[in-house]
Amino acid sequence: MLLLAIDTSGTQGSIALARCGEGRSGRGRAVEGNDFEVIETLLLVGGTFSAQLVLQISELLSRHRLNKNDIGAFAVVSGPGSFTGLRIGLAAVKALAEILKKPIAAVSLLEVCAITSGLEGKIMAALDAGRSDVYVGQYEIPAKAGCIPREQMLSRSEFFLQARGWQVVTPDPSLAEAAHAAGLSVATLSPISAAAVARFGWCKIRSNETVTPEQLEANYIRRSDAEMLEKIGS
């Protein structure tokens, strides 16, 4: 099966094409087995996603003598991230999946960070949300029965306080430096690409954790109105 993965959540984005479920080996293996292979990953320049995304998908498929009808499933970052960027990526996937009648794995960028780290135990993934805020995801790896992952937006001071006792993972060097200076246990990740999104998306597809185009929604992880008013007033 051919899997197309898209990440337009940040200032830079990427798309990846992967072949799954065919006993492939080599680079880009799934968490279990050797049935996952990344064919190609393509970087996208931030600020021009709307102008280049569909064209780049078409060119990516053409380079491998494929077309949209060869796609068997999609994986897309549904959040957190840029409002505009997320909307562009989700809209493209919604349209393609609707036409092709294919399943979608909606992927949390925070959870991809946690899984990609390769660590186990209490993992807190963190992403810079701007304006001194931090997107935070708390996970238990491997997952335990009754343990529900939690994703939220915190101020930096709240993040430093709540992260004590957790293993923090982040691809943001400045955030990692600040967390380390605050005395936290921190692992700095390489930038997350659509290849990692594809790997995690394939795991979700294998577990039947998919959505339809109608069910696909962005997860912006915004503060509540009360919290925003409190922050503005402080």
Integer Cα distance of 190 and 173 in angstroms: 9
Residue 145 corresponds to which amino acid?
A
Rounded to two decimals, the pTM is 0.89
- Top pLDDT among 223 and 4 is at 4
Reading phi first (left if > 0) and then psi (alpha if -120 to 50, else beta), residue 124 is in beta
* Domain ranges for the chain: 2-108+191-206, 118-188
Torsion of CA 160, 124, 113, 146, to 10 degrees: -160
Does the pLDDT at position 20 exceed 70?
yes
3-class SS at 172?
A: coil
pLDDT in tens, 26-50: 333 333 446 899 999 999 987 678 8
Specify the CATH architecture of the domain 2-108+191-206.
2-Layer Sandwich (3.30)
For the stretch 175-208, pLDDT in tens is: 999 999 999 999 999 999 999 999 999 999 999 9
Q: Where are the alpha helices (DSSP H) in the chain?
A: 49-63, 83-100, 109-116, 156-162, 173-181, 194-206, 225-233
Cα→Cα distances 45→53, 55, 88, Å = 10, 13, 13
Q: What angle do the packed helices 83-100 and 49-63 form, to 10 degrees?
A: 40
